[in-house]
């Protein structure tokens, strides 16, 4: 059978089968690389784009917005823009906030109305509680002359509600909890707006712009991609097996023909 395998016909067939096996193996490797989705990190994005809030979210609808997307090696952060009329009289503080540099403190959160409904805006960061309470009092009295001010920020999902730490101080950024507190009749967005640029509230003493990195998430395993990787590996092995099987059948027929010719 080795003599038959070394003929031009079967060597050519072997080369074709090996090429098919290599292609299948490359597809298998590609699917393996896709099967493990690494966790996100706090590295900076490479590009920022802006879209209108109204194009990605609606009041009284579930939160479905994804702010990070990838195009090749580019990590794109999508921020939203809209026009708001702040209602600072119902401003609150949110505890346990952390800046990108690790500084811990509080967010100043102000409810606001848009053309379509109500949205809560985290407008500034304060590092200590006493300064935060002073800033809250000043913010609640801050008069905003212009209605429907243009504003942009990161549209983020609500957190789970927890009992208030004290009046106007909450441990989590829970939109549903703040809606009940505000008792507004407007339909509300499920997420909130984190304003990361300087604004009217960051001009108050002790209030700094908010800085936020990318939320970390656990690595995930894509079972479907893993299954496809196994399939392609089987195809690669099958290509070589088919060559061997066809060669064995040809050798058997050759031997039977020789046997018949001697009889």
Query: Do the bridges between strand 68-71 and strand 169-170 make them parallel or antiparallel, or are there none, so unpaired?
Result: unpaired
> Could you give the CA distance from residue 138 to residue 127 in angstroms, rounded to a whole number?
16
Phi, psi of 207 (to 5 degrees): -100, 120
Distance CA 179, CA 77 (A): 27
Residue 253 belongs to what H/E stretch? helix 223-262
- The pLDDT tens digits of the residues spanning 193-233 come to 999 999 999 999 999 999 987 755 444 556 777 777 888 88
Helix (H) or strand (E) segment spanning residue 77: strand 74-86
State residue 3's pLDDT score: 67
- Whether 209 maps to a domain, the answer reads no
120 is a domain residue: yes
> Does residue 11 sit in the same domain as residue 100?
no
Gap between the Cα atoms of 222 and 30, Å rounded: 13
Residue 90: pLDDT band with limits 50, 70, 90: very high
- Tally of structural domains, the chain: 2
Q: Do 31 and 52 belong together in one domain?
A: no
Do residues 186 and 58 both lie within one domain?
yes
Contacts of 124 (CB under 8 A, 6+ apart): 107, 108, 135, 195, 199, 201, 202, 204, 207, 208, 209, 210
Average pLDDT, the chain: 85
Distances (CA, A) of 76 to 44, 63, 198: 10, 19, 22
Instruction: Please name the residues in contact with 6: beta carbons below 8 A apart, sequence gap of 6 or more.
Output: none
Residue 42 forms part of a structural domain: no
Evaluate whether residue 212 is within a structural domain: no
| pLDDT of amino acid 143 | 72
Query: Is 208 inside a domain boundary?
Result: no
The reply to whether 198 and 108 lie within a common domain is yes
Q: Tell me the per-residue pLDDT of 137-195, one tens digit each, with 9 for 90 and over.
A: 999 988 766 678 899 999 999 999 999 999 999 999 999 999 988 777 889 999 999 99
My answer on whether 106 and 192 are in the same domain is: yes
Could you tell me the residue range of the domain that residue 14 belongs to?
Answer: 2-37+220-262
Q: Which residue has the higher pLDDT, 181 or 98?
A: 98
Residue of 72 and 102 predicted with greater confidence: 102
Q: Each residue of 34-85: pLDDT tens digit?
A: 666 554 444 567 788 999 999 999 999 999 888 878 777 778 889 999 999 9
pLDDT of the residue at 41? 47
* Domain co-membership, 119 together with 190: yes
Specify whether 231 is located in the same domain as 144: no
Residue 210 domain flag? no
CA distance 99 to 212: 6
Do 54 and 7 belong together in one domain?
Answer: no
């Amino acid at each position: 059978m080795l003599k038959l395998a070394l003929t031009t016909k079967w060597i050519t067939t072997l080369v074709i089968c090996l090429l098919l096996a290599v292609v299948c193996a490359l597809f298998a490797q590609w699917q393996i690389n896709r099967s493990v989705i690494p966790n996100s990190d706090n590295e900076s994005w490479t590009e920022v784009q802006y879209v209108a809030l109204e194009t990605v979210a609606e009041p009284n609808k579930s939160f479905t917005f994804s702010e990070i997307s990838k195009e090749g090696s580019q990590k794109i952060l999508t921020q939203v823009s809209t026009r708001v009329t702040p209602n600072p009289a119902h401003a609150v503080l949110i505890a346990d906030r952390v800046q990108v540099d690790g500084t811990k403190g509080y967010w100043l959160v102000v409810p606001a109305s848009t053309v379509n409904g109500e949205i809560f805006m985290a407008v500034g960061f304060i590092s200590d509680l006493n300064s935060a309470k002073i800033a809250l009092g000043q913010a609640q009295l801050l008069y905003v002359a212009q209605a429907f001010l243009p504003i942009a920020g990161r549209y983020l999902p609500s957190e789970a509600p927890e009992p208030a730490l004290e009046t106007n101080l909450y441990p989590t950024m829970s939109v549903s909890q703040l809606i009940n507190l505000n008792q507004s009749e407007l339909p509300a967005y499920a997420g909130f707006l984190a304003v990361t640029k300087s604004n009217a509230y960051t001009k108050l003493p002790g209030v700094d712009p908010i800085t936020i990195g990318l939320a970390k998430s656990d690595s995930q395993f894509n079972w479907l991609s893993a299954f496809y990787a196994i399939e392609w590996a089987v195809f690669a092995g099958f290509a070589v097996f088919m060559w061997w099987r066809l060669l064995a059948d040809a050798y058997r027929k050759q031997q039977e023909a020789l046997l018949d010719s001697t009889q």
